[in-house]
Structure 1
C-alpha cells in the first residue's frame, strides 16, 4: 500500500475539531496502520499513518523475487505481538488522527485515536503501556504527549511488560514458511476440516493470501487486473470494486478456512466467517462468476453458488449488466416427461418410447462418451467398430443397457443443440435433444461419469446450454480421476476381440461345432434386421452371429438392390418394430443351435423375462 491513495480532503469524513477520521481496514505493523476515507463513486481513498515518537519491532519480510542473494528477514522480538495488538483493537473500527509531519517521500507521521475525536484512546500510548513499543531515542520530553509516553514506558519497565520482561523475546518470533513442499499432501492432511487463519492479502488477480500454520490459499475467480508485457496494469470492469468488497469485510479478520483441493500447486479453499460466506456474497452482488474447474471441489453446496450467480444474472448486477438470458423454446410437457428406454446408442444417447407411442432420441447432457485418442494403431484396411475398438465404449454401453433397457425413466430436457454443418475436422450434426435422465433418483449421466465411463464437456464461461446438474457431473468426474476409475485408470485398457461371423457362411460353419457343444448359450440381441432375422452377440464365445427364427417367415422389408429399390412387403415394418420392442438389446438364451442353408441359426430363443413374446410363439423358433 502507498502512503496516500487517491486522497482528497473532501474524501475524509467530518470529525470533531477538524480532525480527519475513517475506518481501519489494515494494520501494517506495530506502528503503522491504514485509514480508509469516505467512498466517492468508487473505492474510497486510503492513507498510511505511522505512529510518531514510538518504535515497534519490524515484521518478517520475504526476500525479493529475482534476487538470488536476498534472504528472508525474520520478525524482530515483540514485533508480531505489537501488530496483533493493533489488529484486534482497530480492524473495522472508526479512528481519527492528527498528522504531525510528512517526509519528502510522502510518509505521514502522527497520532491515532480510537473513536471520532481526540478524547478517545491514544493508540501509541496503549502500545507503550503494554510494553509492545518504545519511545524513539533522541525524543525529548518537552511536551505533554512526550512526557506521557516517557511515564508509560517507565511503568511498563517496572511491571516487566512485553519487551521489558525477562529474556530476549525469541518466543515472539514466528517460524514462517512461505512455501509448501507438497501442497496436495498438506491439503489432504487437513481432511477438509475448518482451520483458524487470517486473511492477510487480497490479490490483484484471483487469489487471497491466508495466514495459517503454514499455507497460502487460492480461492475463487473475481474480475482480474490484466497486464500485458511492458504495459501498465489495466483492471477489468468492477475489479477494484470487487477487491474493495472483500477487503472491507475480511482483510486481517480472524476467519476459518476449509482447504478443499489442490490444482497446479495452488490450494483451493473456502473462507468461513460468522457474518456470512464471502464467496456467495461476491456472486450475489455481481462481483464474481462461478468457475467450473474449481467449483467441482466445493463441498458446501455448489448449488448455492449457482443460485447466487443466477440472482445477480437475473438482476443484471455489475459484471452481468449486459447479460441476456437464453430463451426457453419448450413447453413444460415437452421439458419433463416419463418414457420407456428402447435402445442405447453407444454411451451417451438412448432411444425412448413416449406415451404417444413415438420414439425419440435423447442425448445425455454435458457428457462425452469414450473416444479414440491419437492415431489408431489398428489395421487401416479394417473398418472401425466403435463399440468394441474404442476403449471403455463397450463397458459404458453395457452399463447403460443393463440399467435402462425396458425401464421407465424420468427425462428433463436441459437444452436443444441446434444442427451444425460439417467442417474439415468436424462432421455435421443434426439437432439434438440433450437431457438429464434419471431412474430411481439416480442421475444416469452422473453414475456413468463417476465410474470413469464418460467425461464432462467443458464450456465457455458464458455458455448456459449445459446440464442442470453440471456441478454434480464435475464432482463425479473429480472423484473418478482421484480414484483412477475407467478412463482415468493407469491400468491397461480392456481389449474386446469380437469375431463378426454374421455375414460369413464359412466362418459360421467353423464356429457351429463350438456353439453346439456349449449347449445353452447366453446372448444379447444387438440388431433386428426384420421380424424374424436378428444379430446376436455371444459374450462367452465373443462372436456376433445372425439368427433366423425357425418355422416362420416374416414379410420382407424394403431393400436397396443394384440399380433399383425393392419395396417392402405389407406389414414388414410392423413386424420389425414388434420384434425390436420385445428383444432389442435384451439378454436372451439360445438353445440347440443348428445350421441352416445360409446362416447360423437355432431352434429356440428364450428371453425368460418377456412373457408377451412367449405367448406369441411357444417356443420361439429360430431359422
Structure 2
C-alpha cells in the first residue's frame, strides 16, 4: 500500500459500524457514522501494516489485469471471514482523499475487543511498516517469521491465484457442473438480482443473474453509487437488501443456464434463498423465461410472490387481484373427449352437455400466412391440418391419447372475447383449462414433444395455466433436445389427395378401394348419421363415405344460402350419437360402390361394431333394399326386427300391419316363381325347439377351424380376468361351452349373475355364469357367423306339445352333426326355407319325417313347388292310413283346415 499521508490525527475516539466488504488484506469498507451528514460508507485501511496487493481484472478504460502478490488472496480471505457483516469499532488515525487509516477492533468493548491488524500479523498475512512503533504488532510479526507463516513461509511465492476473469464458453461451464452446488464468494452486487461471483476453488469470476426473478434496474451516479433518482422505483432498496446479505459472503451457487455472456442460476446462503426473500418483500417479480430453470422448482417463488401481492408490498402496491367469474361447481369437472378441434382445443361431453375448452397457456403450431409486405402466402386449397407443419402431428397426438376417454378438467381462466371494429367478436370468449388423463397433463405432454409452444405473459398477468411452470420446463427440455417445432431442419409434410367432390378422381380410385377389402381410416368429419369424411392413411387420401344398406334419419342442416332445413324426428339425436361414436376415431371401411356424385358407399366398423347394423338396432335407421344383396343383410334385418319389437325411436308407433302387407306381397311373388335346384353341402350343428335348423357350409369348414384355433391361442396367451367383462345385450363376446372351451357368442339376455348366449358359429344356446364370459378381440369379430338359420320348406310341427316334442327329438336324431345337400326353395320375411337331402340324394329328410307321421305338410304353396308338395302329401297320406304318431287318433287336419290354407 502507498505511504500514509501525513495529516493531523483525529481524536482518540472509537466509532461503531458494520463491515460491508474487504478490499484486500488490509482495507475494509464500513457502514457507520460519517464525518458529516447521514450514515455513509467509509473506507478504512489498517494503520502501521502493509498487506499484499490483490489482483484486479482489466478495467473498462483499458488498464490491464494484474496478478496477486503472494498470499494476497489468503490475507483477504482471512480478513473477510473475520469481519464482513460483523460489528466493529474503529479509530481513525490519518485521513486521505479516498480512504482513512486507523485501528479496527472486532467487538463492542475496546478493552476486550480483538485488534484486527494484530490478528493478521500473527498469521503472517501483513508486514509491519518500517516506521511502525507498535510493540505488540512487531512481536506478532516476529512470531510469524519464526513459524514461517503466511508471507514468511518458504513457499509463499507460489501462493498466487490464477484467475479466469472472462469465461469464453458459458454453456460448456454450465454443462460441466450439471446443476451441482459450487462454493463461491459474492464479489459485487450490480442490482438486487444480478451479482458477480468468484467460483472456488478454480477462481472463475462470473456475472450471475438470479433464476426466475428480476429486480428493478439500478443506475449509478458519478461516484459509482446507486442513484435513487435515476434508478427504477425500489431498485436501490432491492440493491441494498441483496448487498447487505450477500456481499462477500460465502454461498453455494447452482449454474442453471446462460444468457449471452452472463450466467443464470440460484444463490443459496446458509440463511436461505435470496431470490425467495426478494420476492417475499415485494422487491422482485417472477420472470417466466428463467423460472423454469430453478433447480428447486418454481413453487416457492410463486408462493412468495403471491404473498407479496396479497400484502401489496412495494412493487405490488397497485396490484389488483383478478376477479374470477367461474363458479366453484364449474371449476373442476370430469368429461369424455369427443372431438379434437385443434392442437390446443377439444370438445368434452359432460353429462348431456358438450363443452369446447382450450388448453391453457399454450399455442398450437401455426403458419405465418403473410409476407413482410402483407401479401398472403397461402395457396388455393390450403388445408391447415395437413399443410401447417406439426399441426397434424399435434392433432394425432391428442386424438390417440384422449379421444373417447374421460379426462379431469380444471378451469384456470376465461379469456374474454376481443371485439372487432364491427362489434362482432373477432376472437370469441375462451374457457382455458388444464386437462389431465391418467395423471398426465396433456398440454405439458404436447409441449414436451415440441408440438405446442408456451404463451409468454406480463409479470402481473395471473390469467395463466395452474401448471404454467411445468409447461415452461417442458418447453425448455424440448428446445434443448430439438423436438418437434424446435427442429428447424426436419419439418414433416403431408401430401394428401382430397377426393371429395372430384368425380374423376373417385372413379379412378374406386376399383382399388373395392379390391382392398377393409381399410383403416380416421373419421375427420361427421356430416350426418350416415355421411362421413374419412382420411385413409394407407392411400393418403380423404374421401366422402356413405353408410350402405340403411336409410338414416336426417338431421337439421344449414344450407349454403343460410336457410335452416329442419331435420326428421330423432335426426339431431342420431347425429350427436354418431359423432360421439366415430368422430376422429380409427375405423374400418369396406367400399362396395359409388354414387354419381363421387361419394363412396359401403360399411363402416368402429370398435368392432358394424355402424349400419348398430344404427338400425338403435332405431335411428331402417333397412334399405340394397342390403339384401350384401353379406350383412341378415344382420341388418335381424337388427331391424329387434328394434321393431322394442318399438325403439322411429318404430315407436309400429304395429306390424305394414309388414303383413309386405309379407303377403312377397309370398305371392315367391310362390309364383319357377323352382330352381342348386345344392350346397351343409353340416347341421343345431336343431331349435321350434324345429328350425342351424347349419354350417362345408366349404367354410377350414375357415371355421382356423378361427377357433386363433381364438383359443389368443385366450391361452392372454387369459381373461374372470368377471372383468360386463356383457350387454346383442354384443359379440367370447363364452365357454360345456366342453370348457372358448367360442364366439352373442349376448341375448343378462339376468343377475347369468347370461343367455347364442354360439353364433354353431347355433347352440346356453345360460352360463358371467365368469365364463369374456371380451372378444376386435380382430375376431370381423368374420360373419358361420352358422345360418334355416326352416324346412312346406312342413311344420304339430300344435300338440307331446307330438311337437317327439318331432323335434326325431329331427335331432336324424340331422345333428350330419352332412346334407341343401337346396334353398324360397325366402319370406327374412327367413330362408330349404329342403335337405342325404349326400347320396336318395332321401328327402322332411319327406321321410312326414311319412313317419312326425311332421305336417303345409298346403299353402305356389305352382313352382306343386310337384314337391304332391310328393309330401302322398307321404302324409301313408302316415295317416297307418295311424303313425300324430295321426294315431285319426286325421287331425280336418278341424285345422283353415290353418293350412284350405278353402281359401
Q: Please tell me the root mean square deviation across aligned C-alpha atoms, in Å.
A: 2.7
How far did 1:562 drift?
A: 5.2
Alpha-carbon separation, structure 1, partners of 2:147 and 2:482: 63
How far did 1:380 drift?
A: 5.2
Alignment of 1:35-184 (within 5 A): 35-37=30-32, 45-67=40-62, 70-103=63-96, 105-119=97-111, 120-137=113-130, 139-141=131-133, 146-167=134-155, 169-184=156-171
Alignment of 1:455-466 (within 5 A): 455-466=453-464
Q: Secondary structure at the match of 2:474?
A: helix
Alpha-carbon separation, structure 2, partners of 1:416 and 1:562: 34
What is the TM-score when the length of structure 2 is the normalising length? 0.62
Alpha-carbon separation, structure 2, partners of 1:19 and 1:477: 59
Alpha-carbon separation, structure 2, partners of 1:181 and 1:548: 66
User: Which residue is 1:588 aligned to?
Assistant: 587
Which residue of the other structure, out of 379, 383, 389, is the alignment partner of 1:391? 389
Deviations 1:334-389 (A, max 9, x none): 1111111110012000011112x111110000000001136589985513211001
Task: Report whether the alignment pairs 1:367 with 2:362.
Answer: yes
How far did 1:322 drift?
A: 1.6
Q: Which has the higher contact order (CA 8 A, sep 6+)?
A: 1
User: Which residue is 1:208 aligned to?
Assistant: 195
User: Which residue is 1:219 aligned to?
Assistant: 209
Q: Secondary structure at the match of 1:219?
A: strand
Q: 1:564 to 1:484 in 2, by over 3 A?
A: closer
How far did 1:159 drift?
A: 2.8
How far did 1:521 drift?
A: 0.4
How far did 1:226 drift?
A: 4.7
How far did 1:217 drift?
A: 4.0
What is the TM-score when the length of structure 1 is the normalising length? 0.89
Task: Report whether the alignment pairs 1:185 with 2:185.
Answer: no
How far did 1:48 drift?
A: 1.5
User: Which residue is 1:290 aligned to?
Assistant: 286
CA contact (8 A) 1:436 1:445 kept: yes
CA contact (8 A) 1:128 1:152 kept: yes
Task: Report whether the alignment pairs 1:349 with 2:342.
Answer: no
CA contact (8 A) 1:590 1:602 kept: no
User: Which residue is 1:13 aligned to?
Assistant: none
How far did 1:204 drift?
A: 3.0
Q: Secondary structure at the match of 1:522?
A: strand
Q: 1:563 to 1:405 in 2, by over 3 A?
A: closer
Which residue of the other structure, out of 185, 189, 210, is the alignment partner of 1:198? 185
Q: Which runs of 5+ in 2 are unaligned?
A: 1-11, 618-631, 637-904
Alpha-carbon separation, structure 2, partners of 1:580 and 1:247: 64
Alignment of 1:552-563 (within 5 A): 552-556=550-554, 557-560=556-559
Alignment of 1:379-418 (within 5 A): 381-418=379-416
Alpha-carbon separation, structure 1, partners of 2:608 and 2:480: 39
Which residue of the other structure, out of 335, 338, 341, is the alignment partner of 2:334? 338
How far did 1:477 drift?
A: 0.3
Q: 1:486 to 1:140 in 2, by over 3 A?
A: closer
Alpha-carbon separation, structure 1, partners of 2:605 and 2:551: 18
User: Which residue is 1:276 aligned to?
Assistant: 272
Q: Secondary structure at the match of 1:473?
A: helix
Equivalent pairs counted in the alignment come to: 590
CA contact (8 A) 1:365 1:435 kept: yes
Larger C-alpha radius of gyration, 1 or 2? Answer: 2
Q: 1:610 to 1:257 in 2, by over 3 A?
A: farther
How far did 1:148 drift?
A: 2.7
Q: 1:331 to 1:529 in 2, by over 3 A?
A: same
Alpha-carbon separation, structure 2, partners of 1:228 and 1:163: 39
CA contact (8 A) 1:500 1:544 kept: yes
How far did 1:265 drift?
A: 3.0
User: Which residue is 1:603 aligned to?
Assistant: 602
Deviations 1:502-548 (A, max 9, x none): 21122111111222222210011111111111111111111111111
Q: Which runs of 5+ in 1 are unaligned?
A: 1-16
Deviations 1:457-504 (A, max 9, x none): 111121111111111000000000001100011432111011111211
Deviations 1:413-466 (A, max 9, x none): 111100102379x99101110010111110000000000000001111211111
Q: Secondary structure at the match of 1:218?
A: strand
How far did 1:222 drift?
A: 1.4
Q: 1:243 to 1:561 in 2, by over 3 A?
A: closer
Alpha-carbon separation, structure 2, partners of 1:337 and 1:563: 36
CA contact (8 A) 1:338 1:409 kept: yes
Q: 1:457 to 1:226 in 2, by over 3 A?
A: farther
